[in-house]
């Protein structure tokens, strides 16, 4: 929780209700999954159409 290791937990470090803390690896997996969901044609890139499409 104390991300900057200053010995205190500030408002930005405090977990929000209904959210659980993620490890960095979990965060990267979530980002990759969101990217792949948005990459409609599966080419590994997000073109303008995919970027401007509603989140999938």
Q: What integer pLDDT is reported at residue 29 of this predicted model? A: 93
Other C-beta atoms closer than 10 Å to the C-beta of 9 total: 13
Q: For the residues 4-28, what does the mean pLDDT come to?
A: 80
Q: For the residues 40-49, what does the mean pLDDT come to?
A: 96
Q: Has residue 13 got a pLDDT over 80?
A: no
CA distances 37 to 4, 13, 19, Å, are 32, 29, 22
Give the list of residues 6+ apart from residue 6 with CB closer than 8 angstroms, or none: none
Domain limits of the chain? 21-56
**For the chain, how many residues are written?**
56
30 pLDDT tier (thresholds 50, 70, 90): very high
Q: For the residues 39-52, what does the mean pLDDT come to?
A: 96
């Amino acid at each position: 929780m104390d991300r900057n290791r200053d010995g205190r937990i500030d408002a930005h470090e405090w977990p929000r209700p209904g959210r659980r803390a993620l490890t960095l690896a979990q965060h990267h997996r979530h980002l990759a999954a969101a990217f792949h969901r948005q990459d409609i044609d599966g080419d590994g890139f997000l073109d303008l159409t995919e970027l401007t499409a509603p989140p999938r």
